[in-house]
Homo-oligomer: A and B are copies of this chain.
Amino acid sequence: MKSFPVHEGVPGFRFAGIASGLKPNRAKDLGLILSAAPCAAAGAFTRNRVKAAPLIICRKRVRSGMLQAVLVNSGNANACTGEQGLQDALETCDSLSAHLGIKPSLVVPCSTGVIGVRLPVSRVLQALPGLVGQAARDRMNDFATAIMTTDRYPKIVALKETIDGHALKVCGIAKGAGMIMPDMATMLVFIVTNASIEHGLLSGLVSRQVSETFNRITVDGDTSTNDTVLVLANGQSHRPIASRHARGYAAFSALLQTAMHELSLKIVQDGEGATKLIAVSVINARTRNDAHKAARRVANSCLVKTAFFGQDFNWGRIMAAIGSSGAMLDMHRVDISFNGIPGVRSGLGVNANRARLKKTIKQERVDVTIDLKQGRHSCRIFTCDLSYDYVKINASYTT
């Protein structure tokens, strides 16, 4: 498996990203992914009971298993906008499908931005001809920029594997920095590939891999109304992956898994205000649920996250967090290590390592491993620290 330059693109896919006036300052806010032919498609969507209008349409259309174009806007979530919101999203997609001369059911909408404000449909409609005109294989970066909200940088992963002389490519683009919580597909993620794989097989793979990647990250414990992961496979690699035992399945699965993992880490690293990536691993929990509860509690604890921001070696807050997680534990048996250095042994601080521990938590990535010694289950959640900038960004987002 190797990375490749983003401008090489993926055969059969074109991208565009332009400014349509949804965001102030003429920032890019409208993006398009366009496939030359209908693709096998699979998706994962928010489990939030409050769902955005475009997500409702997108989820429905993905069920058919075929998509050809994705229209994404930032600057407006088109969520909590009622029946009008559904009509608005449909109108933009219908207009795009007419421009492209393809069936409306092959086009899906995605939105991200402020909740509860009507989508300025006319701006989107006016911008569509220009958007379609710009679409090109090497414009992935424009697309990635157009879907950003509080993101500091575009997030793209491009991976390939050569099988019998043919390049199998997987390219993923993500946006997301806040309202990130590991309870589902938790951001906008678009992955395109030239793999030839049918919808059902792709769907199963996507579901499993999302639960192991995007559902294992958290920035602030909040869950969005618009979270979407879409995977489009256009079949141009000429080497059909017909079953889990087919030649190429393992390679494709590995490419997809790595792309999702890397994108999920990029989202946490770009967590609103984040200065640090923190991997919280709970091991030897009594049940799978216990491992998840304990890891999430630590990863979402404001006290743990502010301590990391302050570069403060405060293991007591981690003990307090796991103790209140509901997971079964005996505080006298808990071990905790930081980047492999023992910090807590049998519930007590390891004073001999204090200088090394104080140094290691200053690193940009800290791996915290919490051994409960209650059983055999484990869970790892990626999170970031909580800084002044998180507050700053979120105290002034809509105004």
On whether the beta carbons of A396 and B312 are closer than 8 Å, the reply is yes
A329 vs B321: C-alpha distance in the bound complex, in angstroms? 30
A313 vs B178: C-alpha distance in the bound complex, in angstroms? 18
Q: Is A121 in contact with chain B by the CB < 8 A criterion?
A: no
Closest to A81 in B: B348
Q: Is A286 in contact with chain B by the CB < 8 A criterion?
A: no
Give chain A interface residues in 66-82, CB to chain B under 8 Å: 77, 79-82
Q: Is A310 in contact with chain B by the CB < 8 A criterion?
A: yes
On whether the beta carbons of A323 and B388 are closer than 8 Å, the reply is no
Q: Is A102 in contact with chain B by the CB < 8 A criterion?
A: no
A224 vs B391: C-alpha distance in the bound complex, in angstroms? 23
Residues of B within 8 Å of A399, CB to CB, are 310, 312
A327 vs B49: C-alpha distance in the bound complex, in angstroms? 9
On whether the beta carbons of B324 and A183 are closer than 8 Å, the reply is yes
What's the least CB distance linking A16 to chain B, in Å?
28
Residues of B within 8 Å of A348, CB to CB, are 80-82, 116
Contact of A395 among B178, B222, B309, B329 (CB under 8 A): B309
A301 vs B225: C-alpha distance in the bound complex, in angstroms? 14
Give chain A interface residues in 173-198, CB to chain B under 8 Å: 178-179, 181, 183
Q: Is A317 in contact with chain B by the CB < 8 A criterion?
A: yes
Q: Is A126 in contact with chain B by the CB < 8 A criterion?
A: no
On whether the beta carbons of B324 and A390 are closer than 8 Å, the reply is no
Closest to A329 in B: B49
A312 vs B51: C-alpha distance in the bound complex, in angstroms? 22
Residues of B within 8 Å of A395, CB to CB, are 306-307, 309-310, 312, 387
Instruction: Answer whether A302 and B221 are a contact pair too, CB < 8 Å, given A310-B396, A314-B398.
Output: yes
Instruction: Answer whether A394 and B303 are a contact pair too, CB < 8 Å, given A47-B324, A49-B329, A51-B331.
Output: yes
On whether the beta carbons of B222 and A301 are closer than 8 Å, the reply is yes
Q: Is A268 in contact with chain B by the CB < 8 A criterion?
A: no
Q: How many residues of A contact B (CB 8 A)?
A: 67
Closest to A309 in B: B395
A203 vs B399: C-alpha distance in the bound complex, in angstroms? 49
Instruction: Answer whether A300 and B221 are a contact pair too, CB < 8 Å, given A323-B48, A391-B390.
Output: yes
Contact with B along A366-389 (1 / 0, CB 8 A): 000000000000000000001110
Q: Is A332 in contact with chain B by the CB < 8 A criterion?
A: yes
Instruction: Answer whether A324 and B116 are a contact pair too, CB < 8 Å, given A82-B348, A387-B391, A391-B388.
Output: no
Give chain A interface residues in 325-345, CB to chain B under 8 Å: 327-329, 331-332, 344
Closest to A314 in B: B398
Instruction: Answer whether A179 and B303 are a contact pair too, CB < 8 Å, given A116-B315, A332-B82.
Output: yes
Residues of B within 8 Å of A116, CB to CB, are 315-316, 319, 344, 348-349
A316 vs B78: C-alpha distance in the bound complex, in angstroms? 11
Q: List 26 A-B contacts (CB under 8 A).
A: A48-B324, A50-B319, A50-B320, A79-B316, A80-B315, A80-B348, A82-B348, A115-B314, A116-B344, A179-B320, A183-B324, A221-B221, A222-B302, A222-B317, A222-B321, A225-B316, A225-B319, A307-B395, A309-B395, A310-B394, A310-B397, A312-B396, A312-B397, A386-B391, A388-B391, A388-B392
Residues of A that sit less than 8 Å from B by CB: 46-51, 77, 79-82, 114-117, 178-179, 181, 183, 220-225, 300-303, 306-307, 309-310, 312-317, 319-324, 327-329, 331-332, 344, 346-349, 386-388, 390-392, 394-399
